[in-house]
A and B are shown apart, each in its own frame.
Chain A
Amino acid sequence: MTTILPFTISPGNFVAPAASWLNTNFHPLFAAITSVADAILNAVLAVLTALPPLWMIAVVAVLAWLVANWRVSLLAIFSLGFCWAMGLWNAAMQTVDLVIVAVVIAVAIAFPMGIWASRDKRVERTLRPVLDVMQTVPPWVYLIPAVIIFSLGRVPALIATVVYGAPPMLRLTTLALNQVPKPFLELGDALGSARSTTLWKIELPLAKPTLLVGLNQCILLSLAMVVLAGLVGAGGLGSEVTRGLSRMEMGVGLRAGLSIVAIALLLDRLSRAALDRPRRPAG
């Protein structure tokens, strides 16, 4: 490569030593994080695989009917049934496991920070470039420091997924709250409502549609990242795709790929329908 400068600037020259330094000096901390994350992932996976596939499909179908509607219930039967029929049940559950845990963590971080950013313009201004970088850096680049620090497996995949899934949730939380019309905030004040009451009873319900878009994006981007994390041994459907790619086996790749589509559809529709239920009047 020719450059105009007599030298090349490589951020990696600083980042890689920094990661190694962290690794040598904070190893116990990372080890602790790893074991906690592993335990959580195992626990959720145990729930997901507690029942035989057919039973599990039935349970999900019934739950989908209860929290959403019969269409989502039908979709659940087809998509999970497809994964099972492809012989990828366990892989699919590992993927869902990672997505669930990653989304919960991402939301737990992004939601309050998004509210904070909507309250304080300085926070928003500070966060914006950080989020820009987080969202535009190609996602597999996150995997490198994650692997350096947490080595191969599910935990670096989880960390990278959280990093990748949190920004849209954060951004859309801020946007959703900023979009709440001023008169409603004034209403809260005029009624003598405390700030937290105004947040929970006025702002969040009015912001819900945009918040749901944020959550939906968070879920789907997390799924994309979890699949990509098959490259670092995260297991699940991503590993099947990686296997298909490395061995040039069309069949393996296609089966795993279609299963991912099925899971994505299910997660998308289920999350949307469950959170956006039309409510019945009370009283």
Chain B
Amino acid sequence: MTNTLPDGNSPLIDCRSVWKVFGQRSEAAIKAITERGLGKSEVLKEFSCVVGVADVSLTLNKGEIFCIMGLSGSGKSTLIRLFNRLIEPSLGQIFVCGKDVAKLNAQDLRATRARDIGMVFQNVALLPNRTVLENAAFGLEVQKVEKERRLETAKKALTTVGLADWVNRFPNELSGGMQQRVGLARAIASDPDIILMDEPFSALDPLIRRQLQDEFRELSKTLGKSAIFITHDLDEAIRIGDRIAIMKDGAIIQVGTAEDIILNPADGYVADFVAGISRLHLVKAHSVMHPVAAFTAARPDLDVSRFSRTSPEADVDELIHIFLDGGQDGVAVLDDGAVVGVVTPRSLLQGVKGKEPGEATAF
């Protein structure tokens, strides 16, 4: 609404080779990085500067939820604060809604933060002296929106997050999950295009957390918001994210959909992470099947046309059910009416276990 995008398809956030170096000699360190291509450990050794974010490039597309997953100290909290310039980047460019964030003057930066980017914090940061309603309206109050209008907007936002009955309570009367909903209501009340979520659900108990994850995903989809979502929990990233970036030591080591990352981990670190993740609903038939030509060549004794059929998007869970019901040697995968591949019991098991890098699909 307020931003003027060059065209509808350009990313809301475009982050290009961004570095953040902390320390007294950060400028010299940055110079060394650009001129001599020093890495993180060399910078620490030579300049005793800590590299928070190292050469990160990513884009957030419209309507997308982008999860950044990493353990503590991986630089994910630093990275998210670069997008609304709560932390100044040392090097690189960040475009938010087409504007170069580093070039904004104080007033434009405040306007961008107020209107284009909402933020939800891990510790919620609700003002204890204000009611739930006033907290939800606080972002608008800071923008000097007239009182009646801002309270009305805040009330709508609270209704959206399911807190319509709690408007006149104080934050300390609410549970952790409800407080986090107020935080979300405060962020969406200003109707920003982008919501930055900084580990918002980490402190909640597992049941509430899953509920809020589902609600958040649904809410941001219905409202058409785009979000960067920081988490240290891969399950959460998979549940929420359209795309996931895995971050380690300030650098992004892999970006992709949940299935990409699970099936083709970029390195041992990512592989260790995904090892414990249940693949039942993540791995789809198209990634565990053999191409139909290869299958008929290897097993000329079997007649593919007599196999049970399924779609390429059927997940492992469905495939298991088909095998349990029919008990054939394979399941044919149909796309547009034509058989494109075959899932065998062995390839299915391999898909459940997770393939070692370079391992061939078994017949």
Whether B129 is near chain A, meaning CB under 8 Å from some CB there, is: yes
* A interface SS class: helix
Q: In the complex the two chains form, is A190's CB within 8 Å of B113's CB?
A: yes
Whether A183 is near chain B, meaning CB under 8 Å from some CB there, is: yes
Which of chain B's residues have a CB closer than 8 A to the CB of A190?
A: 84, 86, 113, 117, 119, 121, 196
Q: Which residues of A165-199 have CB atoms within 8 Å of chain B's CB atoms?
A: 181, 183-184, 186-194, 197
Which of chain B's residues have a CB closer than 8 A to the CB of A197?
A: 142
Q: Which residues of A191-234 have CB atoms within 8 Å of chain B's CB atoms?
A: 191-194, 197, 201-202, 205-206, 208
> A206 with B128: in contact, given A190-B84, A193-B110 (CB under 8 Å)?
yes
Which of chain A's residues have a CB closer than 8 A to the CB of B112?
A: 192
A193 CB, min distance to chain B CBs, angstroms: 4
Distance of A194 Cα from B113 Cα, bound (Å):
11
Distance of A146 Cα from B349 Cα, bound (Å):
92
Distance of A205 Cα from B171 Cα, bound (Å):
15
User: Contact check: which of A189, A205, A208, A279 meets B113 at CB < 8 Å?
Assistant: A189
Q: In the complex the two chains form, is A194's CB within 8 Å of B127's CB?
A: no
Whether A282 is near chain B, meaning CB under 8 Å from some CB there, is: yes
Distance of A283 Cα from B139 Cα, bound (Å):
17
Which of chain A's residues have a CB closer than 8 A to the CB of B117?
A: 190
User: Contact check: which of A181, A184, A201 meets B141 at CB < 8 Å?
Assistant: A201
Whether A281 is near chain B, meaning CB under 8 Å from some CB there, is: yes
> A279 with B142: in contact, given A190-B113, A192-B110 (CB under 8 Å)?
no
Distance of A189 Cα from B190 Cα, bound (Å):
15
Q: In the complex the two chains form, is A283's CB within 8 Å of B121's CB?
A: no
Give the interface centre of A194, A206, A283 by most chain B CB atoms within 10 Å.
A283
Distance of A281 Cα from B168 Cα, bound (Å):
6
Whether B167 is near chain A, meaning CB under 8 Å from some CB there, is: yes
Interface size on A, residues (CB 8 A): 22
Q: In the complex the two chains form, is B111's CB within 8 Å of A283's CB?
A: no
Q: In the complex the two chains form, is B125's CB within 8 Å of A184's CB?
A: yes
Q: In the complex the two chains form, is A191's CB within 8 Å of B127's CB?
A: no
Q: In the complex the two chains form, is B134's CB within 8 Å of A192's CB?
A: no
Distance of A189 Cα from B121 Cα, bound (Å):
12
Whether B202 is near chain A, meaning CB under 8 Å from some CB there, is: no
CB-CB nearest in chain B for A279: B129
Give the interface centre of B86, B114, B134, B142 by most chain A CB atoms within 10 Å.
B142
A97 CB, min distance to chain B CBs, angstroms: 33
CB-CB nearest in chain A for B84: A190
Distance of A54 Cα from B121 Cα, bound (Å):
56
Distance of A189 Cα from B197 Cα, bound (Å):
15
Distance of A183 Cα from B124 Cα, bound (Å):
8
Q: In the complex the two chains form, is B121's CB within 8 Å of A186's CB?
A: yes
Distance of A189 Cα from B113 Cα, bound (Å):
8
Which of chain B's residues have a CB closer than 8 A to the CB of A282?
A: 131, 133-134, 151
CB-CB nearest in chain A for B138: A191
Q: In the complex the two chains form, is B121's CB within 8 Å of A187's CB?
A: yes
Distance of A282 Cα from B137 Cα, bound (Å):
12
Whether B123 is near chain A, meaning CB under 8 Å from some CB there, is: yes
B308 CB, min distance to chain A CBs, angstroms: 53
CB-CB nearest in chain A for B109: A192
User: Contact check: which of B109, B127, B168, B169 meets A184 at CB < 8 Å?
Assistant: B127
Whether B72 is near chain A, meaning CB under 8 Å from some CB there, is: no
Whether B143 is near chain A, meaning CB under 8 Å from some CB there, is: yes
Distance of A194 Cα from B110 Cα, bound (Å):
7
Give the interface centre of A184, A186, A188, A192 by most chain B CB atoms within 10 Å.
A192
Q: In the complex the two chains form, is B133's CB within 8 Å of A281's CB?
A: yes
Q: In the complex the two chains form, is B114's CB within 8 Å of A206's CB?
A: no
Distance of A190 Cα from B87 Cα, bound (Å):
11
B35 CB, min distance to chain A CBs, angstroms: 33
Q: Which residues of B151-200 have CB atoms within 8 Å of chain A's CB atoms?
A: 151, 167-170, 190, 196
CB-CB nearest in chain A for B110: A192
Distance of A211 Cα from B37 Cα, bound (Å):
51
CB-CB nearest in chain A for B106: A194
Q: In the complex the two chains form, is A192's CB within 8 Å of B129's CB?
A: no
User: Contact check: which of B86, B111, B131, B143 meets A189 at CB < 8 Å?
Assistant: B86
Q: In the complex the two chains form, is B119's CB within 8 Å of A193's CB?
A: no
Distance of A206 Cα from B128 Cα, bound (Å):
8
Which of chain B's residues have a CB closer than 8 A to the CB of A193?
A: 110, 142
Q: In the complex the two chains form, is A281's CB within 8 Å of B139's CB?
A: no
CB-CB nearest in chain A for B143: A192
Which of chain B's residues have a CB closer than 8 A to the CB of A184?
A: 125, 127
Distance of A104 Cα from B240 Cα, bound (Å):
56
14 contacts between A and B (CB under 8 A): A183-B121, A187-B125, A190-B117, A190-B119, A192-B109, A192-B111, A192-B114, A192-B142, A192-B143, A201-B138, A281-B131, A283-B131, A283-B167, A283-B168
Chain B residues within CB distance 8 Å of chain A: 84, 86, 109-115, 117, 119, 121, 123, 125, 127-129, 131, 133-134, 138-139, 141-143, 151, 167-170, 190, 196
Chain A residues within CB distance 8 Å of chain B: 181, 183-184, 186-194, 197, 201-202, 205-206, 208, 279, 281-283
Beyond A187-B125, A201-B141, A202-B127, 14 additional pairs, beta carbon < 8 A: A184-B127, A186-B86, A186-B125, A190-B121, A192-B109, A192-B113, A192-B114, A193-B142, A201-B142, A206-B129, A208-B129, A281-B134, A282-B131, A283-B151
